[in-house]
Amino acid sequence: MLPNKSRKLLHEELILQWVVSSGVAKELAIANSWFFFELMVKSMVTHLASMELLEMPRRIRFNEQFLDDVTSLVAMVTSEIISRFGKDTKVIE
C-alpha cells in the first residue's frame, strides 16, 4: 500500500490534467465536459465521505492546489463558452 502523500486522488489528477491540456485533448475534454464534471464531483464526494470530512468547514475540505486548479478550470471553461458563443452552439450546450 502506498503512503498517503504519494497517493493521487481521481478528482485532483483529473482537474490537473484538464487544466494543463491543449490541442485535441483540450477539445475532447470540453466537448465531454459534462462527463468529466460529474466524475470529479462524484470523486470529491466519495473522498470527503471516506475521510469523514463532510462536516468540516468548506475551506479546509480540499487542499489549496486543488482549489487553485478549480479556479483555473472555471476560468478556462467560461472563456471557451464566451469565445464560442454563436459559433459552436452544440459544444456550448
Q: Rounded to whole angstroms, how far apart are CA atoms 11 and 9?
A: 6
Residue type, 87: K
Cell 464534471 belongs to: 37
CA-nearest of 30, 23, 37 to 83 is 30
Long-range CB contacts (< 8 A, 24+ apart) of 78-84? 80/30
Output the pLDDT for position 85. Answer: 80
Rounded distance, CA 21 to CA 15, Å?
10
CA contacts within 13 A on the Cβ side of 57: 2
Per domain, the residue ranges of the chain are 10-92
Full-model pTM:
0.80
30-89: pLDDT as tens digits: 989 999 999 999 999 999 999 999 999 988 899 999 999 999 999 999 998 888 887 766
Q: At what angle do helices 33-50 and 23-31 cross, to 10 degrees?
A: 80
